[in-house]
């Protein structure tokens, strides 16, 4: 990975553990099969991210 980053001039971004992504997906997809499901708005999505300690510019959807 380091060699590719250096070759492309890219920077390493956020790296989440598999457990973090699994835990996020449990909340993110909860209720998706329900007929009355409504997708979360940006504020709600940020709250879901925050509940899994996914914060910072990358995870911000509301601009605030």
- The pLDDT tens digits for 7-50 are 999 998 888 999 999 999 999 999 999 999 999 999 999 999 99
Residue at 51 is within a domain: yes
At which residue do the structure tokens 């708005």 appear?
A: 41
In the chain, how many domains are there? Answer: 1
Q: Which domain holds residue 21?
A: 16-64
Is 23 within a domain?
yes
Asked if residue 14 lies in contact with residue 58, where contact means CB atoms within 8 angstroms, the answer is yes
In a domain, 35, yes or no: yes
Does residue 3 fall inside a structural domain?
Answer: no
The reply to whether 53 falls in a domain is yes
pTM: 0.77
pLDDT for residue 64 is more than 70: no
Q: How far apart are CA 24 and CA 54, in angstroms?
A: 9
Q: Is residue 6 part of a domain?
A: no
Question: Is the residue at 7 inside a domain?
Answer: no
Residue 9 lies in a domain: no
Task: Count other Cβ atoms within 10 Å, centred on residue 27.
Answer: 14
């Amino acid at each position: 990975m380091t060699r590719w980053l250096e070759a492309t001039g890219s920077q390493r971004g956020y790296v989440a553990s598999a457990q973090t992504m699994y835990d996020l997906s449990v909340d993110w997809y909860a209720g998706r099969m329900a007929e009355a499901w409504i997708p979360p708005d940006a504020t709600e999505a940020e709250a879901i991210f925050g509940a899994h300690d996914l914060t910072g510019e990358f995870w911000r959807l509301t601009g605030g």
